[in-house]
Amino acid sequence: MKKWDVFELKLKGKTDGNPFTDYEICGEFSNENEAKTVSGFYDGGGIYRIRFMPSFEGEYNYKIYGSFSDKTVTGSFDVSGADGCGPIHAEDTAFEYADGTPYYSVGTTCYAWTCQPQELREQTIETLKNSSFNKLRFCIFPKHYDYNYRDPVMFPYEGTPVDNSGIDKFSFSDYKPDNAENKWDFSRFNTEYFRVIDGCVEALRRLNIEADIILFHPYDRWGFSKMPCWADELYLKYMTARYSAYSNVWWSRANEYDLCGYKAADDWEHYAQLVTKKDPYGHLISIHNCVKLYDFSRDWVTHCSIQRQTGDKELDFIPSWLEKYKKPVVIDEMCYEGNIEQDWGNISAEEMLRRMWKVYILGGHPGHSECYFGKDIWWSHGGRLYGESYKRFGFLHRIMTECGSLHTVGYMESENHDGSIRLRYFGEHRPAFITMKLGDARYRIEVIDTWSMTVDDRGSFSGNVKIVMPQRSGMTVRMRKE
């Protein structure tokens, strides 16, 4: 057992009535540095599980109790040094792992990947393993939307879905659920559905990829977006009990909350309080918009999670969002590379890469996805990547790691925290040369080609300098104080 790994106990318990609602299972975990009380959950077949993430090394004692069983279980286990860096938290406008390592997010999105067949899920993991992404956004509930008309392999509740036959899967986006009824028991989870998600979250954890879990979303024909309040609450308690012990979990309260017609403004606040209260580790939590940004100044919001699509114009607001909210800004959606019909999914690799760099230069954390038309589309199903931008994100992340978090000092010009490194990103601008007045200070100047992934060291300079530039788009100049 290592620090920040998942400690799990599997216990038999009562099965009379409805074990999802009728019984509780609670655990107290303590060592000399911390003491936490956590909830367990029912996992079907008479099995209850309780998960705990230790944040310290050394011996832990635990006591498991609750109405699920007439017995109290106690025990202890040893925790040794960590393999990973631990869960991430926000430090002012930056992210940091628990061990102090800075985290620079290079995200992607596969909304419905956990609902796909096992083979496809495995391919997704394989693709991620060979990529440089360190965050993946995905939904818990299945997705109903263009290119997403096939049923998920399973459903999250016991019951039967609306009949799906006769839907033209790759047709116009005009499908409206008919009156055929979904028949769900929202008080009984399909535990197999969640065991699949357990595997997905754990696989991501092993790859050091943050699991940005989207709790609600509006793209639904099965009724999961309009459950009664008690069912929403039961679901959130189940989710926090089941997943809080994974160090890589982030809570995204919604995808496009402003399109979730069945939830009122107060509901979001209420559900946020619930998640925050039930998550013993204080995982990152935010909420993603379609058009209207959520009020990120709320106490429970740890970072901004933002979608911007019309052109890239609104990315320029990143510095003002940083200033306003004093929290990290994650741009999860700013159009995706691809060739599908919808404008949000058909920009070129060059344009995707340009926006990724732009977000970093402006002080934010960029997010990608890919929508090449075909049987499976990465943005929703996962599977394979066909584009060209993602191949260049490892290089972007390397530069992020070398330079650190940035704040803007001019248009498309940024500095790191102590001003020892300055980056100027040229984007669509292609000067034949640039000039700089360095004064007495001495700088190493490098010309970085974000597409070709080269760093051209031009040497050490002071005074007035003229640097000949490649006349191509997507160049960055890095100046390092010597």
Residues that bind a second copy (CB under 8 A): 172, 310-314, 316, 335, 339-343, 346-348, 351, 373, 411-412, 426-435, 437, 464, 471, 473
We find the least distance from the C-beta atom of residue 374 to a second copy, in angstroms, to be 10
Q: How many CB atoms lie within 10 A of CB 224?
A: 24
Q: Please, which residue, 9 or 469, has the CB nearer to a second copy?
A: 469
- Least distance (Å) from a second copy to the CB of residue 315? 9
Token pair, residue 310, equals 């019309």
Least separation in angstroms between CB 456 and a second copy: 18
For residue 58, how many other CB atoms are within 10 A of its CB? 12
> What per-residue string of b and e applies to 469-481 under the rule 16 or more CB within 10 Å gives b?
beeebbbbbbbbe
Query: Toward a second copy, which CB reaches closer, 281 or 426?
Result: 426
Report how far residue 277's alpha carbon sits from residue 456's, in angstroms, rounded to the nearest whole number: 50
Name the one residue in this structure whose structure tokens are 């013993």: 280
CA distance 131 to 117: 21
**At closest approach, how far in Å is the CB of 431 from a second copy?**
5
What is the enclosing helix (H) or strand (E) of 434? strand 433-437
CA distances (Å), 96 to each of 100, 140, 299, in order?
6, 26, 19
Torsion of CA 27, 254, 209, 48, to 10 degrees: 30
Closer to a second copy by CB, 100 or 432: give it: 432
Of 89 and 358, CB closest to a second copy: 358
Show Cβ contacts of residue 33 under 8 Å, excluding neighbours closer than 6 positions.
55, 56, 58
Which is nearer to a second copy, 81 or 166 (by Cβ)? 166
Shortest separation between residue 138's beta carbon and a second copy, angstroms:
25
- What single-letter amino acid sits at 394? G
CA dist 452 and 396 (Å) reads 11
Tell me how far, at minimum, the Cβ of 304 lies from a second copy, in Å. Answer: 19
Give min distance, CB of 405 to a second copy, in A.
Answer: 23
Nearest to 401 by CA among 4, 108, 102: 102
Return the DSSP state at 114. Answer: G
For a second copy, give the closer residue by CB, 14 or 384.
Answer: 384
Identify the helix (H) or strand (E) that includes residue 416: none
CB of 318 to a second copy, least distance (A): 13
Tokens representing 205 are: 């954890």
Specify whether the backbone of 459 is left (phi greater than 0), alpha (psi in -120 to 50) or beta. left
Nearer to a second copy, 254 or 322 (CB): 322
Residue whose CB is less far from a second copy, 436 or 455 = 436
Please state the closest distance from residue 369 (CB atom) to a second copy, in A.
15
Q: Which is nearer to a second copy, 60 or 378 (CB)?
A: 378
CA 44 to chain centroid, in Å, comes to 28
